Amino acid sequence: MHDRKSHFLPLAAAVGVAALLLYWLRPGQTAAAPDVAASVAADAVLPAEAPTPADAATGDALRALISALTGPDAEVMLEDGLTTLLNQPGAVPNESVLTFANDAAYQAFLGRAAAAGLQVIGTMDGLLAARVRFNSPAALARDLLANPTDLNDIGVNIVVTPPSAPAPESRPGGPQVAVGNNLLRQLGVTGDRRTWGQGITIAIIDSGVAPDPTFGSRLSTLDLGTGLGTSPSSTDGHGTAVASLAAGASPDAPGVAPAASLLSIRVTGDSDTSDLFTLAQAIIAATDAGARIINISMGAYSTTTYLSNAINYAVTRGRVVVAAAGNDQAAQLIWPAADTRVLSVGSVDGAGQQDIFSNSGPQLKLTAPGYMVQAAWLGGQRVLFTGTSASSPVVAGAVAAMLTQNPGMSATEAARVLQQYASDGGPAGPDPDYGNGTLNLGWAMNRNDPARVDTAISSHYFNSDTGNMEFLVQNRSGAAVGGLTFTLDNGGGPADTAVPLLQPGEVFTVTTAVDPMQLAAVGKLTFRTTLTNPPDVATDAVPANNRASSSLTAPTGP
């Protein structure tokens, strides 16, 4: 045991070591994410490369730092630095994840770890990463000093249930509309969809999926060491609900892709929590097992090098990772949804309104129904499932459906199409609350049908910066449409606006000023809108979206 009282100066130096380690290796370290408010181009949706917490320079700097620690106090200094690094909030205690510079260094470590007092409790051979447990960081410090050139990264293992959520955004409250068993109708899905998802595997990285009639024989499981989570006595039906929304087939628990195969990978233990290393392991395992779509309805407010590397492993092999944005009403996404390579999903209710709990952020790609959606549960039960955990598998199922209906399309291309043909929400164009819009699978499936007409009132939005109400008209048809008339009645009688010729996907915004004194006097203003197609336009495929109403309530309080 070291006599800490005799090492005042070396300990002061250790603080500098810790600061350097934290600078290079802190969870969440990443380059700034690109603003998704740009147009939805193929290379902007799921980039082939994305900011990664560590690179070769980080490894060189780490090795140089360890090599520079010499003398009798080197071990104490490094141990104290590691203690500071590894005891961060949300980290699993007495654990580290080590990423090695090459395979020889990785294999050598695995061979000597036990003798060095380090317990290897998990590995990812493809990433040259090992999850290590120890009684004291002194054992890890000794091994690092003895092998200073072996490592490329020292990381923490983050608990997936974050210790605290960011401060919630101030958002106007309002009645939320349940989706119920109307999910498919809200997505614009009609007709025979029995083959949707056939030949496609969706991996469900979650709490485990219990057998249920809605899955038939399409469910398989993969054990990472946390069990399969298929026991009827399990206390958590979360994974079962998630899987049913992606690929359920029964009328009382319908999913989007009822013919898709499901691969359940349980990542939670008895505490119903997980960690980022296990998530990374599951992403690698799902990729290697052939899943083309990987759904993750969980996360944390930190990331790590090895999670980023696992995502890179998947997307460079043509997989699409779909992840829930989080349910904390926060202005940031949880990881892995916050990774720019991930198809991140927020939540809307049965009326297409952003759910008040749904996290927002510049990385958000899509929103999908997630408020009180009917789903499967344990023991054959049916429940109303709420959260971005529900929205994410809806999008995962939509990707699978697109693949079967568009032979030759890649999963990445399917994800891009779903974003390009999404119903605009909020202000015109991509925004942090709705991403590129709300999933509209019916439009995406029929995007190339020039005879299909669907003109829509896409959004009622109050712009607090300008004090104006903005009403979005969107052409979701297969061809350009002209001669539309937009009618607004806000209590003073209807007023018509001629809508210019709109190309497929194009949005036109009608703006009206809101008088704050009038709003304060009456307490609430109601806006009723109607969109009328010209007589020579074919029958509208979705006439219900040609009418919309909303209310703007006067602010209360100071």
Q: In this structure, are strands 261-266 and 293-296 parallel, antiparallel, or unpaired?
A: unpaired
Please give the chain's pLDDT, 558 residues, in tens: 333 333 333 333 333 444 444 433 433 333 222 222 222 222 223 333 333 343 334 556 667 777 777 777 888 888 888 888 888 888 899 999 999 999 999 999 999 999 999 999 999 999 999 999 999 899 999 999 899 889 888 888 998 853 345 566 777 666 889 999 999 999 999 999 999 999 999 999 998 999 999 999 999 999 887 777 665 545 568 999 999 999 999 999 999 999 999 999 999 887 778 999 999 999 999 999 999 999 999 999 989 989 999 999 999 999 999 999 999 999 999 999 999 999 999 999 999 999 999 999 999 999 999 999 999 999 999 999 999 999 999 999 999 999 999 999 999 999 999 999 999 999 999 999 999 999 999 999 999 999 999 999 999 999 999 999 999 999 999 999 999 999 999 987 899 999 999 999 999 999 999 999 999 999 999 999 999 999 988 889 999 999 999 999 988 755
Residue ranges of domains in the chain, CATH in brackets: 41-155 (3.30.70.80), 183-444 (3.40.50.200), 450-553 (2.60.40.10)
Q: In whole angstroms, give the CA distance from residue 293 to residue 262.
A: 10
Beta bridge partners of 109: none
CB 508 within 8 A of CB 473: yes
Q: Two tokens at 136?
A: 């004291």
- Check residue 339 and report its DSSP letter: S
Which helix (H) or strand (E) segment is 344 a member of? strand 343-348
Q: In whole angstroms, give the CA distance from residue 522 to residue 520.
A: 6
Catalytic residues, which ones? 206, 238, 389
Q: In whole angstroms, give the CA distance from residue 442 to residue 435.
A: 19
Q: In this structure, are strands 151-155 and 261-266 parallel, antiparallel, or unpaired?
A: unpaired
DSSP string, 496-511: EEEEPPB-TT-EEEEE
Distances (CA, A) of 490 to 173, 462, 514, 526, 555: 21, 14, 10, 6, 19
Q: In whole angstroms, give the CA distance from residue 281 to residue 157.
A: 12
Q: What is the pTM of this model?
A: 0.88
